[in-house]
Structure formats: structure tokens, C-alpha cells
């Protein structure tokens, strides 16, 4: 299924006018990144600026040679009639499969729009919890926009090998950071070994097979808000030898959640799967680290927007944004979170629980 970017028009509006250095910290399939690039296309005159005012951006200034290459790319781009701008789009993702897709999508779609993909976009494999050090590696000090669209993409959910979905028979893996080799030279691998993503050893299967019943109940309650957390955890403990796939676990959840407590159209294993995924990928602590470091990376006027899908995540975003605004130096752009309209939800059910909050550095 194609990934439909959640609250896309609101994102474009919050970041407009689009220019400068923009970090999509969860680039996924590149849907939001493309919308940002398109907004630039629509908001600027067609004539390229003279070379003296072009910003090459520190992203590519690591080696003099590559800087030179980029300047010549810009000249070539303008000669070929490509649109050039000061927009530098850095797309970050922890999943190499997502980056490969973003690379393909953005390259194709931006070229069709007459935009010079190679000059504008840099894709980096990394965890957004390391955003400060990653930007340091890229020699970028301040940025004009940062977006994080949390959770997983439709492609990850639909990939039967990843174990995120109870709809496909798969091993209980659920790790977001795949180790697949990145062939495309457009995707940067961070050199600093501390920041290199290692495929964590924790999988959903390891939790199911080895964790204490109470610890499992706690994560199901905390990260899934599953009211039958204790019952499911007990059943997992009793049957753990027989649970080896996503569908085994889904069937067990079905037995534990009485029909009268099931929501129409929501599978009884949904909350359990969400809780396991959040735990396997250490998503809550990664978000805390990101919220601690990202605001400081904004240039004056720069904005940080976060789309969350879970009350725990939204609470963290809300608390941090409130604190930043009350300490001064930041202004809340969204007094209340932006949520999807009924029409948008009908088009993209994933947006049902989305909450978008944004702050600006003053
Ligand atoms: C909802 S999708 C983003 C979709 C994207 N906005 C689009 O329009 O195509 C979330 C993406 O964030 C990535 N992700 C989740 N947690 C991350 C983290 N801590 N650091 C970097 N990427 C992360 C996932 O691998 C996934 O590709």
C-alpha cells in the first residue's frame, strides 16, 4: 500500500515559507519531504539566483572536493534549466529499506518537477535520538525546520518479513532498523562509529519467549493501553512455547479480549503489537532524547513539528513544548494539537489518532 503522508497540508503550512535547511527526521517514503520540496517550487520565482548568493550548504562541505562538485552541479543545474534554491533537505531514517524508497521516490518525483534532487537532498541513515551528533557530523549548526512523523510507515507494516502486522504470517521481529546493505551512493552512512546504527538484539520474539509475565503486562499497559494486559501477559507466559509467529500471537490476543470489548474494525491484537513495537525499538526514550536536543538546533524563526500517534508520545511532546514556551525563546505555533478531519481519516485511516504540534524559535 502506498504511504499517504499524514496532515500533509498542515505540515506545508507550518513550515512555509519553505527555505533554508530542513530536516525530515523520519523521511520514510519521502511523502512529507516531497510536499516540502513542492511548496518551494510553488513559492519561488522560476529564475535561478546568481551563483554568488547560492547556499551550497555545509552538508556537502565535508571535503573540499565534494563542495566543488556541488558548486559545479549547481551551475550545471541552472544551465539545464533545473530549479535551484537555498533549500537543503536532509532526510533521516533508521531503516535502510525506507531510505532506499525515499531515494527512489524523491529522485523520480523531484526530477519530474524540474528540481535538482542531487543538489537539494541528502539522505542519512541514523536514529533521530542522535540528531545533534548527526548534524555535527554533517557540519550543520542550525536548521530552519525539523519534522518528526513518529511510528512506522505503511510499507513497514505491509512488509510480511518484518513482523509488524498480525495480518501476515511472519517471525516476531518488529525491529525498525534493518541491516540491509545500502547500495545507493546518495545515501550517507555516518562515519562516527558511535552513531552507526547497530541492529539491536531485542526482538518481539525475545520478549515473548523470555520476559517475566509482569514485565510484559507492564509494557502492554504502558505502551498499548491494553485493558487486558494482565490476562494477555499470563496467556503469553502459559503458551510461550507455542508462539512463534505474528499470527500465533494474534490468535492468543483474540482469545483474551472478550468480543464485547472489541472496537469495530480494530483487531484485538492491535494494542499488543503496538506495545511490543514501541518496546523493541526503544521509541519512548528515543523521542525523549530527540525532544531534548532538537529545539536547540533551530535557527531563529525555525520550527519543529512532531506528529504523534499515541497519548504517551503526545504527552511528552506537549510537556516539552510547554516548558520551552514558558522558559522563553520558543513560541507555541499550535495552541492545541492539529488533528485530521473526517475526510482525511476516510482517505487515510492511519491519521485517525494523529496529533500535530509545532513550536518556533523566536
Ligand atoms: C510514519 S513513517 C514516516 C513517513 C514519512 N513522513 C512520509 O511521508 O513518507 C515513520 C518513519 O520513521 C522512521 N523512524 C522511526 N523511529 C525513528 C528514529 N528513532 N529515528 C529515525 N527514524 C525513525 C521509521 O523507520 C519510518 O520509516
Taking the C-alpha atoms of residue 41 and residue 82, their distance in angstroms, rounded to an integer, is 11
Taking the C-alpha atoms of residue 25 and residue 283, their distance in angstroms, rounded to an integer, is 14
Query: All 3 cell numbers of residue 302?
Result: 525555525
Q: Which CATH architecture has domain 8-160+182-198+282-361?
A: 3-Layer(aba) Sandwich (3.40)
Q: Which atom of ligand 1 is nearest to the CA of 287?
A: 19
Ligand 1-lining residues (CB < 6 angstroms)? 3, 5, 26, 28-32, 92-95, 98, 127-129, 149, 151-153, 176, 286
Ranges of the chain with pLDDT below 70: 1, 43-85, 178-199
Taking the C-alpha atoms of residue 293 and residue 142, their distance in angstroms, rounded to an integer, is 12
CA of 259 to the centre of ligand 1 (A): 33
Q: Which atom of ligand 1 is nearest to the CA of 32?
A: 8
Residue with cell 531563529: 300
Give one word for 225, left, alpha or beta, with left for phi > 0 and alpha for psi -120 to 50.
left
Taking the C-alpha atoms of residue 246 and residue 167, their distance in angstroms, rounded to an integer, is 8
- CATH, range 204-280: 1.10.150.170
Helices within 129-192 (DSSP H only): 131-137, 154-158
Taking the C-alpha atoms of residue 215 and residue 198, their distance in angstroms, rounded to an integer, is 25
CA of 24 to the centre of ligand 1 (A): 9
> Using CA positions, which residue lies closest to atom 7 of ligand 1?
31
pLDDT tens for 297-318 read: 999 999 999 999 999 999 999 9
**Residue positions forming the annotated binding site:** 30-32, 93, 128, 149, 156
Taking the C-alpha atoms of residue 1 and residue 224, their distance in angstroms, rounded to an integer, is 24
Distance between alpha carbon 79 and the CA centroid of its chain, in Å? 35
Q: Which residues of 270-300 are buried (b: 16+ CB within 10 A; e: fewer)?
A: bbbbbbbbbbbbebbebbebbbebbbebbee
Taking the C-alpha atoms of residue 174 and residue 176, their distance in angstroms, rounded to an integer, is 6
Pairing of strands 330-332, 355-361: antiparallel
Residue with cell 493501553: 225
Contacts of 320 (CB under 8 A, 6+ apart): 291, 292, 295
Mutate which of 1, 6, 29, 93 for ligand 1 pocket (most atoms within 8 A of beta carbon): 93
CA of 270 to the centre of ligand 1 (A): 19
Between helices 270-280 and 246-256, what is the axis angle to 10°?
130
**Residue positions forming the annotated binding site for S-adenosyl-L-methionine:** 30-32, 93, 128, 149, 156
> Using CA positions, which residue lies closest to atom 13 of ligand 1?
26
Q: Which atom of ligand 1 is nearest to the CA of 155?
A: 27
Mutate which of 5, 12, 26, 28 for ligand 1 pocket (most atoms within 8 A of beta carbon): 26
pTM (2 decimals)? 0.86
Residue with cell 519467549: 209
Q: Is the Cβ–Cβ distance between 123 and 99 less than 8 Å?
A: yes
Torsion angle (degrees, nearest 10) of CA 175, 179, 241, 236 = 0
Q: How far is CA 77 from CA 48, 103, 115, 123, 330, in A?
A: 10, 19, 9, 20, 37
Taking the C-alpha atoms of residue 103 and residue 91, their distance in angstroms, rounded to an integer, is 9
Q: Which atom of ligand 1 is nearest to the CA of 28?
A: 27
Say how many CA atoms lie within 13 Å of 262 toward its Cβ.
14
Give span(s): CATH 1.10.150.170, the chain: 204-280
Q: How many Cβ atoms from other residues are within 10 Å of residue 343's Cβ?
A: 8
Between helices 283-293 and 270-280, what is the axis angle to 10°?
60
Q: What is residue 311's three-state secondary structure? A: helix
Give span(s): CATH 3.40.50.150, the chain: 8-160+182-198+282-361
Amino acid at each position: 500500500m502506498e504511504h499517504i503522508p499524514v496532515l500533509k497540508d498542515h505540515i506545508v503550512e507550518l513550515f512555509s515559507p519553505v527555505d533554508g535547511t530542513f530536516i525530515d527526521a523520519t523521511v520514510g517514503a519521502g511523502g512529507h519531504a516531497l510536499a516540502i520540496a513542492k511548496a518551494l517550487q510553488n513559492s519561488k520565482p522560476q529564475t535561478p539566483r546568481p551563483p554568488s548568493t547560492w547556499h551550497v550548504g555545509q552538508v556537502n562541505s565535508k571535503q573540499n572536493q565534494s563542495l566543488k562538485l556541488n558548486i559545479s552541479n549547481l551551475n550545471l543545474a541552472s544551465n539545464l534549466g533545473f530549479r535551484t534554491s537555498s533549500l537543503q533537505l536532509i532526510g533521516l531514517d533508521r531503516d535502510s529499506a525506507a531510505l532506499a524508497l525515499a531515494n527512489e521516490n524523491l529522485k523520480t518525483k523531484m526530477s519530474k518537477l524540474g528540481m535538482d534532487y542531487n543538489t537539494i537532498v541528502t539522505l542519512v541513515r541514523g536514529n533521530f535520538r542522535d540528531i545533534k551528533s548527526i548534524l555535527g557530523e554533517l557540519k550543520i549548526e542550525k536548521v530552519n525546520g525539523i519534522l518528526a512523523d513518529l511510528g512506522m510507515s505503511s510499507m513497514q507494516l505491509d512488509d510480511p518479513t518484518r513482523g509488524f502486522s498480525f495480518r501476515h504470517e511472519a517471525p516476531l521481529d518488529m525491529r525498525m532498523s534493518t541491516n540491509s546493505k545500502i547500495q545507493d551512493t546518495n545515501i550517507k552512512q555516518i562515519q562516527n562509529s558511535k552513531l552507526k546504527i547497530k541492529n539491536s538484539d531485542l526482538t518481539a520474539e525475545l520478549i515473548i519467549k523470555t520476559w517475566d509475565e509482569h514485565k510484559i503486562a507492564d509494557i502492554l499497559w504502558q505502551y498499548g493501553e491494553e485493558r487486558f494486559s494482565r490476562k494477555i501477559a499470563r496467556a503469553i507466559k502459559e503458551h510461550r512455547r507455542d508462539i512463534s509467529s505474528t499470527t500465533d500471537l494474534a490468535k492468543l490476543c483474540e482469545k483474551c479480549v472478550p468480543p464485547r470489548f472489541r472496537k469495530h474494525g480494530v483487531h484485538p491484537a492491535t494494542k499488543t503489537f503496538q506495545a511490543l513495537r514501541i518496546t523493541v525499538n526503544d521509541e519512548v526514550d528515543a523521542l525523549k532524547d530527540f525532544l531534548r536536543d532538537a529545539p536547540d538546533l533551530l535557527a531563529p524563526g525555525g520550527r519543529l513539528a512532531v506528529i504523534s500517534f499515541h497519548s504517551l508520545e503526545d504527552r511528552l511532546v506537549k510537556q516539552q513544548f510547554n516548558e520551552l514556551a514558558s522558559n522563553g525563546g520558543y513560541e507555541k505555533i499550535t495552541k492545541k494539537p492539529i488533528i485530521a478531519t473526517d475526510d482525511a481519516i476516510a482517505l487515510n485511516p492511519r491519521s485517525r489518532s494523529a496529533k500535530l504540534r509545532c513550536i518556533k524559535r523566536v
